[in-house]
Amino acid sequence: MSLDELRSQLDTIDDQMMTLLSQRAALIIQVAELKKHHDIPVHVPEREDAIVARLRSLNPGPLKGDAIERIYRTIIDEMRKFEDEHIVHEAS
């Protein structure tokens, strides 16, 4: 397989990841609304830890578990910021 073909496959995967991140963010808006109406805090460390632990256990490789954790902690952190911004924006 050529470098261009491999890069094209990477581009396709990146496109899919972007779609999934957008879907996740759309769900975060719904989560934020429910949390707001039920006075649940945005940051629930136990939930975040459970997400990371679940994903580490599902990891088929070749990435190491620590890499998976760093990637998902970043995603979770950015989604938490997005959720917090949505709640603040809604209150304004």
Give the pLDDT confidence of 14-45 residue by residue, as tens digits: 999 999 999 999 999 999 999 889 998 888 89
The confidence band for 84, taking pLDDT boundaries of 50, 70 and 90, is confident
Cβ pair 92, 83 in contact under 8 A: no
Q: How high is the pLDDT of residue 22?
A: 97
Confidence (pTM): 0.85
- Nearest Cα to Cα of residue 72 among 32, 24, 34, 38: 24
Cα dihedral 29, 33, 35, 39, rounded to 10, equals 150
Q: How high is the pLDDT of residue 92?
A: 53
Could you tell me the two tokens for 4? 């261009």
Give the mean pLDDT of 50-72: 97
Q: How high is the pLDDT of residue 87?
A: 74
CB atoms within 10 A of CB 21: 13
Could you tell me the two tokens for 87? 């709640």
